[in-house]
Amino acid sequence: MELYPITNKKWSIPRIAFKNTVSAVFLMAARARELNCGVIFFPEAGALLLKYIYKKGIGDKKGNNVKIYSSKITALSKSPLSKQICSLLSSSEGKQPLTNNQIVDFKKSLVNLSASSKKALLRIININHLDEYSLTDIINKICLIGLVIPSEDKLNLIKCGIMPPTNNYSPENSSVKEFKHFRKKNINYSLEHITDITHDVRPLLNIILSNTKFARAINGNKIYVMDEAVSRGRTLNTLEIVLKSFSSNVSWKIGVLFCPLRPHVGHNFDFVFSDDYIPLFSNRLDLIGNIIVESDLSFTKYEISKLLHRNKIAISKLKEQQLKMYFRRINKFINQYFSKFLYSRVVDKNDLIRLFNFKFVCDSSIIQKCFNLNPVDTSGLIEEISFYINMPHPFDPMPMRKKYKDIMLNLLAYLNKESLPKLITDELISFREEFYAHKKYYEFLELESWSKRHDDTLFKLDSLIKKRYYEKRKLSSISTHNFYISRYIAK
């Protein structure tokens, strides 16, 4: 029983096909070899299937000594820098204290900080007791000191004409044409000013992170980042900041499946597969097979297959008929009281049911984070992810995404009103109690559905990887590489 079959939303942009995704990974791998990159990095969660393709088709082959890493990398407006740095540490590394040599070097480097940054650091760290701090403690306290990102400063964007000089301007509220124009200019500006990012405490981070496995791996190695997409350029900034926190001299390039702009050669961009078709896997944690959510210190990864196994053991008796009855009742309830929140091919009844179920187990602050594409580690994990993966694709047209979000926020505000009619309030309480009675089975069915989708995805990829791997001539043909590169990157 599949609770929520995936539906096509209004104005959806065509997706990059599986076979083209596999081809793109092989082509990026060839580019990484040509550039002598010793490390391949995959931002989570969207690039995890790219990592699967790479490892299955290239990385696990005999004679390949390239080191493979992945962790959560996203815009700093979505997740703190400290968590993104700590996600590249093992649990034991995060708990380690500084060595005596690191403490000596830390104090020496502190002298070279600007007066304001030094003052800020001394205010939050006892320099005479550095041995009492773990790596995670220090990173959490100091990582934002002296960080300036030119392309994320609104005043800079206004000065160069990317944004108008108004206080309440939001690119998401603009027309499709205006948003596309903003996005392209913003990416260009990010690329042009990525080397202008300043981070006063970078030398200190280099010292305290020097003994970590990742720092040792990238020392003297070029990094090739394979990602699903670059939409506005903010992730590029985060990559620059995070990677150089481990080694200030690191050199990195990025290849992506999708970018709305054809970047100029000479920046960190190396490869763009398409500027019009969008990745299939964005937001689709069911297809990816791993749920990546924000936790207190970093991020937590849950394998859907393991969650399914655990939930299957917890189910003693399946209650399919009772759950079907719950869905029939809540459908009727929506028809009767909430039909004004339905909008053809943008918000349907299943969207509203998912929001109700999500609200039954989580407070509104969690739901707001989910709207901003940032799931968190919560007791309502399955309900949150069910809601998350069925939102509009993050690269679909802004009007659809905005319409969806506005309707859901309006419904959430309505449900939070104290003056709701008693009849509706009583019904919601009844539905909440009924949902909790079926919650374990509901979660089991969702996980079962996601696991099947993931298995089907891997089956398709495996056959394509096998076929692509044995096309030796195509893989080694420089002319094939140059065709794609010249087609998608302006020279």
Determine which of 59-63, 267-271, 340-344, 402-406 has the lowest per-residue pLDDT on average.
59-63
Q: What's the DSSP call for residue 109?
A: H
| pLDDT confidence tier of residue 490, bands split at 50, 70 and 90 | very low
- pLDDT at residue number 478: 46
Phi then psi for residue 404, to 5 deg, are -60, -50
Contacts 24+ apart (CB under 8 A), 210-214: 210/102, 211/96, 211/99, 211/102, 212/88, 212/89, 212/93, 212/135, 212/246, 213/90, 213/93, 214/69, 214/88, 214/89, 214/246
| pLDDT confidence tier of residue 276, bands split at 50, 70 and 90 | confident
User: What distance in Å separates the CA atoms of residue 296 and residue 472, rounded to the nearest whole number?
Assistant: 46
- pLDDT at residue number 266: 55
pLDDT tens, position by position, 18-34: 999 999 999 999 999 99
pLDDT at 227 over 50: yes
- pLDDT at residue number 225: 97
Contact 438, 322 (CB under 8 A): yes
- pLDDT at residue number 263: 60
Tell me the three state secondary structure of residue 81: helix
pLDDT, mean of residues 241-266: 87
Q: Omega before 45 cis (within 30°)?
A: yes
Those residues with Cβ within 8 angstroms of residue 426's Cβ, 6 or more apart along the chain or in another chain: none
Q: Which residues pair with 148 in a beta bridge?
A: 198
Integer angstrom CA distances of residue 246 from 139, 205, 212, 228: 12, 7, 8, 23
pLDDT tens, position by position, 129-148: 999 999 999 999 999 999 99
Contact 449, 350 (CB under 8 A): no
Length of the chain: 491
pLDDT tens, position by position, 115-130: 999 999 999 999 999 9
Torsion of CA 147, 69, 251, 248, to 10 degrees: 40
pLDDT tens, position by position, 437-458: 999 999 999 999 999 999 999 9
pLDDT at 473 over 70: no
Tell me the one-letter amino acid at 226: M
Tokens of 173: 């509220």
pLDDT at 484 over 50: no
pLDDT at 315 over 90: no
- What is the H or E stretch that residue 463 is in? helix 422-469
- pLDDT at residue number 479: 45
CA atoms within 13 A on the CB side of 74: 22
**CA-atom Rg of the chain in angstroms:** 24
Buried b (16+ CB within 10 A) or exposed e, 304-322: beebbeebeeeeeeeeeee
Q: Count CB neighbours of 227 within 10 A.
A: 23
Phi then psi for residue 98, to 5 deg, are -75, 150
Q: What is the DSSP string of 23-74?
A: HHHHHHHHHHHHTTEEEEEEEETTTHHHHHHHIIIIITSTT---EEEEEE--
User: What distance in Å separates the CA atoms of residue 303 and residue 49, rounded to the nearest whole number?
Assistant: 13
Phi then psi for residue 292, to 5 deg, are -105, 120
pLDDT at 481 over 60: no
- pLDDT at residue number 264: 56
pLDDT at 244 over 90: yes
pLDDT, mean of residues 67-77: 93
Contact 64, 58 (CB under 8 A): yes
- pLDDT at residue number 5: 85
Contacts 24+ apart (CB under 8 A), 97-105: 97/131, 97/132, 97/133, 97/134, 97/135, 98/130, 98/131, 98/133, 98/135, 98/138, 98/208, 99/211, 102/207, 102/208, 102/210, 102/211, 103/130, 103/131, 105/207
pLDDT at 160 over 50: yes
| pLDDT confidence tier of residue 63, bands split at 50, 70 and 90 | low
pLDDT, mean of residues 43-71: 89
Contact 391, 408 (CB under 8 A): no
Query: Model pTM?
Result: 0.89
More confident residue, 195 or 63: 195
Integer angstrom CA distances of residue 6 from 190, 320, 350, 386, 393: 35, 20, 10, 11, 12
Strands 37-44 and 67-72: parallel
Range list of H helices, 61-114:
81-86, 91-95, 100-110
Terminal Cα-to-Cα distance of the chain (whole angstroms): 52
- pLDDT at residue number 470: 72
* pLDDT > 90 fraction of the chain, expressed in percent and rounded: 63
From the number of C-beta atoms within 10 Å of its C-beta (0-12, 13-18, 19+), residue 249 rates as: exposed
- pLDDT at residue number 272: 92
Those residues with Cβ within 8 angstroms of residue 173's Cβ, 6 or more apart along the chain or in another chain: 402
pLDDT tens, position by position, 362-410: 988 899 889 888 889 998 999 999 999 998 888 887 778 888 999 999 9
In three-state form (DSSP H/G/I as H, E/B as E, the rest C), the secondary structure along 235-262 is HHHHHHHHHHHHCCCCEEEEEEEECCCC
More confident residue, 61 or 460: 460
Integer angstrom CA distances of residue 85 from 63, 206, 236, 291, 445: 30, 12, 15, 19, 35
